[in-house]
Amino acid sequence: MTSPARKPSRIQTENRQRIRDAALGLFATYGFRGTTLDQIAEACGMHKPNLIYYFESKEAIHIDLLNMLMEEWLSPLNAMDPDGEPLEEMLGYIRRKMEMSRLYPRESRLFANEIVQGAPRMLPHLESTLKPLFNRQIGIITRWMDAGKLARMHPAHLIFSIWAVTQHYADFEAQIAVLLPGDDKRARGADEFVEMMFRKVLAP
């Protein structure tokens, strides 16, 4: 066992990252219970006990991923500027969410899996990390509405709808691929649609 509070070696850092990368794809696709240590091991070219050498259990890998995810995932929310031009700030946020959905579908699906299943390992994190950020954002948006810069509406549901629409493209990709097989222009069409949609909704 690695002694506690010891700075990780190069190999540690590297291999932990390899494990995370393999596990992310598998957990995102098959869920926590649906993924086996053997699968993860094979996906990153290691042996099962080696995983346990780097993470003390399968659950530890999952938790580690969820923790990392939370930070990245919330960065677009943090990037909103209360002093910016309201409509442009909102559309910028929406664009960044669409971009994340396209660039990091595994992360999106990992998150979706966790929440759909009742957030068994993430509820405290939602409460302590997401909620304050969410509430701050609600405040900013409310002030923008008060100032007449955005149409008046329920700000929480507005954010939910943004999350719903943007993440849908990653989480339900399997369905979209069946219904809209024209692969090439799909992302463009989605971006344009979503921007148009929220422009209409948000315009004061």
Partner DNA sequence: CAGGTTTTTTACCATTTGGTAAAGTTACGA
Partner DNA sequence: TCGTAACTTTACCAAATGGTAAAAAACCTG
The residue (of 9 and 67) whose beta carbon lies closer to DNA is: 9
Q: Which of 4, 5, 7, 49 is close enough to bind DNA by CB under 7 A?
A: 49
Segment interacting with a second copy, rule: CB under 8 A, options 3-11, 15-23, 26-34, 80-88: 26-34
CB of 18 to DNA, least distance (A): 9
Three-state secondary structure along the chain?
CCCCCCCCCHHHHHHHHHHHHHHHHHHHHHHHHHCCHHHHHHHCCCCHHHHHHHCCCHHHHHHHHHHHHHHHHHHHHHCCCCCCCHHHHHHHHHHHHHHHHHHCHHHHHHHHHHHHCCCCCCHHHHHHHHHHHHHHHHHHHHHHHHCCCCCCCCHHHHHHHHHHHHHHHHHCHHHHHHHCCCCCCHHHHHHHHHHHHHHHHHCC
Q: Which does 87 bind (CB under 5 to 8 A by kind): DNA, a second copy, none?
A: none
Q: Which does 88 bind (CB under 5 to 8 A by kind): a second copy, DNA, none?
A: none
Are 25 and 43 within 8 A, CB to CB? yes
Residue 21 in contact with DNA, rule: CB under 7 A: no
Residue 179 in contact with DNA, rule: CB under 7 A: no
Q: Which does 5 bind (CB under 5 to 8 A by kind): DNA, a second copy, none?
A: none
Q: Which of 23, 32, 58, 73 is close enough to bind a second copy by CB under 8 A?
A: 32
Any idea which residue has 């390899």 for tokens? 18
Residue 17 in contact with a second copy, rule: CB under 8 A: no
The residue (of 3 and 184) whose beta carbon lies closer to DNA is: 3
Residue 156 in contact with a second copy, rule: CB under 8 A: yes
Q: Which of 78, 85, 88, 157 is close enough to bind a second copy by CB under 8 A?
A: 157
CB of 200 to DNA, least distance (A): 47
Which structure tokens are listed for 62? 């999952």
Residue 190 in contact with a second copy, rule: CB under 8 A: yes
